[in-house]
Structure 1
């Protein structure tokens, strides 16, 4: 049925005299590196039983290619989009350490679509087809995309997904949207992440009733722009996992700000996640609690961000706080604007503590743009049930040519894991400090 509908749409396009046909090939080649500074700790000693985990160093290369074929006629638009990526590891500081290489957790992770095969560095996929979709739009009234695509709306589930994305702007100044998906992938075109599609929030514990099952995740919302306000209520739900209402409100003092003079923007986001009984048998992931604790109940979060702009500069501050534990099934994509994957690959796939149980985070930032140079400084403090951490990050991006840019980021990051929690496989008897400072670089050429 779906094939017949698509054939009729294509036939209607092809029979039109006013048909506009376009196709475009684009892509990028990138290198991405991280140097773990490992201040006051050995970069080569690994002992999970003693809680000794270094910060990794690595270098990877990537290539991304996208092709789009489109048809346009009198308000109707149709396209087919294909895109893929492949890459490899150039340097790996973990290769000869206890446990073998861990960099596959960045690039190549593959444990099957149900995450039940048991991932490892011997069975990897260093390639992915992240775009494979068809898209149809009629003016501003209706659009639908089916297949694999980059989801770019909403606060919490952005990224590459497999499913359907439907939108409408029939109501002036309003975007209505809905998506349904059960698979996601981790792909950063200018960074190291390349992890193929698998079920979202799958249970990989043998013996459980939902072992290896993929449950559909749904999202819907309405983004309304009224004068200086953008009001965006959203609702997410996943079968046997959670339901979650979210409200995002932005006030923009000068919506038409063009980078000259003064402006300010205020954003407030509230989210609540209630975990369904079908998820209560699962272990609380990412070691938010003691290791024997099960998921139960839910929690909420509040995000407040104030940004000021003056000409080509910006500065501001933000607060993110969690009430109980709302992020068992959320966190990879988030509205905060900073990278939450800055820890060690030996624990939680580098996830830091901003989204953990009863976590309170504040940060201040300043940045600017000067012709081809963009820079940013961010200072952050987090105190959570599991850990306390502080970081200072300095990032510089320079555009060498129209198609070639580079980034250099250096970060001090101190992490104190609190007594009673796991560091590696060791339950700590006292608070323990770890250094997670690093230097990260990238070079990207676009074509």
Structure 2
């Protein structure tokens, strides 16, 4: 099918490339000329494993091209809207400026029978409003909402082989038409028996934010237990293991540590809270505010633990921070706990040297006051403390015996509870974990 993807940021670039790789004829459109130039050359403007290969393959096949002119979307049967919905400055609400602009820009180029598919994460009620706008235009087009469930670091895999598909469609013939077109687009995934949920607009919008709210709650819950463990001498990792054996609970996302970040979970749960309050049901998700607060407290806990454990005043100490991205296999530093910890320690006067395999340039653009290094040896040399905050394999597998030959003081703050405390202590280190005795 002929497809346009409006918005070529993280979501849009991955979606456009994956759809072309699946055999569709795709044009990706974005107002950022530099981004479009990079994508046209087969160079993603961000780090995502597997994307360069898929992008290059799709481009070389002739099925994928890019443009800054939304008029080039004309003639496509299906138009995916994949623009960002950032948090409004000074508010928890989602900023729908880019979504509204994308729809307004598309309207003159829609033809009878075209399908506009929302993929952006939006407050519930947005799809119904946009559907009315599209119908009122008289262009004969239909709207569907098809939320994404991408995991950074696995986005290509999640697009080509999703764990479920959700279609939010209008009732009657327009919805049936939308389902038929989406089934054709996702024929490969459906042939592999991917679960499909066909529902209304509101449910499709809520699926995405509810999923993120649940994951955030699970992470924050175990971090709340870590706070209790820290004042009782309990071990939160063993606690998580024990309750995780219960099939109703499960072990995934029960890793206590410095908490979650990134461009989705924090903003999405805040926007969900704001929308619930607008609907007069703020009390229904009031607990999410406490989940957010717990998450932010864990960052402060890492900073406080580091300062309290140093053998010298913080302004005389060198701190090696391992990781800057909010998670491994990503260069995303938006709302990153790791970067936040590094900045706070620097603000307290520490000499902070931070390292990350992919995120240094993004971090430097936001916080040039930090010292960055691409050498693990130089990062560790002369350090009074190692603070491990992003679980990149090379940091998770750090050899404590080798590290001991470089540092000035053998203190490790394990912000991800990734290290075997017995191994580090046997190598002469003072080991401090999150919610661990």
TM-score normalised over the length of structure 2: 0.25
> Per residue, is there more strand in 1 or in 2?
1
* TM-score, length of structure 1 as denominator length: 0.25
Compare the two structures and name the one with the higher helix fraction.
2
> Which is bigger in relative contact order (C-alpha 8 A, separation at least 6)?
1
